[in-house]
Amino acid sequence: MTATDQLSQVFSALADPTRRDMVARLTLADSTVNELAEPYDVSVQAVSKHLRVLERAGLVSRRREAQRRPVHLEAEVFDLMTTWIERYRRQAEKRYRRLDALLAELPDETEGDAK
């Protein structure tokens, strides 16, 4: 899977408010499916379906060995997102530094004309 594909999956996984809420709760602690399902007015099956989407995007994992199979948040994926967003920011910053240089060159008098 390429970086772009993975990021597409991450973004579409996080486009759903219930899944975003589940991720937010998993930042506090690992939880079982039942614990995750508790606050929502949906079935455990529906929560499991959301979890599969999060799992496919690499956002969460479930340990096979443990009996309770708690859901664990994969923080590295968020680092990837942050890095990716930071690259976009740097690209914008690069453009705006060129704009800084241009603004420094522009004579002030034309500013008055423009008003």
Partner 1 sequence: MNEAEIIVDDKVPVLRIIREFDAAPAKVFRAHVEPELFARWNWDDGYSVRFDHFDCRTGGSYRITMSGPEMEGSVHGSFHDVIRNELIVQTFSPDAAPDLVVLEKHRFEDLGSGRTRLTAQSLVESFEYRDAFIDAGLLEGYARLDQLLKDL
Residues that bind partner 1 (CB under 8 A): 1-4, 6-8, 11-12, 14-15, 17, 20, 58, 74, 76-77, 79-80, 83-89, 91-96, 98-104, 106, 108, 110-111, 114-115
- Nearest approach in angstroms of CB 107 to partner 1 is 9
Q: Is 25 buried (19+), middle (13-18) or exposed (0-12) by CB count in 10 A?
A: middle
Question: In whole angstroms, what separates CA 11 from the centre of its chain?
Answer: 6
DSSP summary character for residue 30: -
| Element (DSSP H or E) covering residue 84 | helix 75-105
In the complex with partner 1, the residue whose CB is nearer, 18 or 32, is 18
CB 26 within 8 A of CB 72: yes
Closer residue to partner 1 in complex, CB, 8/48: 8
- Token duo for residue 10: 């991450």
Residue with smaller CB distance to partner 1, 52 or 96: 96
Rounded to the nearest whole angstrom, what is the least distance from the CB of residue 108 to partner 1 in the complex?
A: 8
